[in-house]
Amino acid sequence: MGRRSSTGTRGRRAHGEAEATAPDRAALDRLEALYRARYEPSVRLAHLLVGSRHLAEELTQDAFVRLLPRISATDNPGGYLRVVLVNLCRDHGRRQTMAGRHPQEPQPDAPPPGIPETSSAVWLALQQLPERQRVAITLRFYADVPSDEIARILDVRPTTVRSLIHRGLAALKEVVPND
């Protein structure tokens, strides 16, 4: 028997990789049982580490995928899963830190498409609104998106969305003729 590591694997290979084998039915059953038992606690752990539920779910899924080829060779798959998950979270944090240190040059925005001369006064006035008001009004009245969803999209509170829509409509009323 090989030496045991903190993750519970035996017989380590070079660069710390456990012997990977093709998953068989028993391995899949073991992974499924572990998934049912450890998915939510793993997502909570990742959420605490990265601060985003969506990202935590992605990282947890990645951890389970990385565990599958090694699950048969792992004595403690729950411990191995936790180590893989924490490492994925740390890797994400390092990438975020490096991205902050070395910001990429923003790509020049393409100019907006030209407005046809036959456009309505409402369309022309809408284009003159501040971006957040324009987005809120467009999502609400063109795409029929509820205010709570618009708030999530704009990353603001629902009351802010209602205020943006109210102010945008007031500005449109001043500019657009009442025909």
Alpha carbon 76 to its chain's center: 29
Interval 103-115: pLDDT, tens: 777 667 766 555 5
**How many Å apart are CA 92 and CA 50, to the nearest integer?**
8
- Residue bearing the bigger pLDDT, 136 or 123: 136
Interval 39-93: pLDDT, tens: 999 998 888 888 888 999 999 999 999 999 999 888 989 888 988 998 898 899 8
* pLDDT of 100: 77
Indicate if the pLDDT at residue 101 is higher than 70: yes
* pLDDT of 20: 53
Residue 28 CB partners (closer than 8 Å, separation 6+): 68
9 φ/ψ angles, rounded to the nearest 5 degrees: -90, 160
Around Cβ 89, how many Cβ atoms within 10 Å? 22
Contact criterion met (CB below 8 Å) for 32 and 82: no
* pLDDT of 113: 59
- pTM value is 0.48
**How many Å apart are CA 147 and CA 153, to the nearest integer?**
10
pLDDT band at 4 (very low <50, low <70, confident <90, very high): very low
Q: Which amino acid would we find at residue 143?
A: A
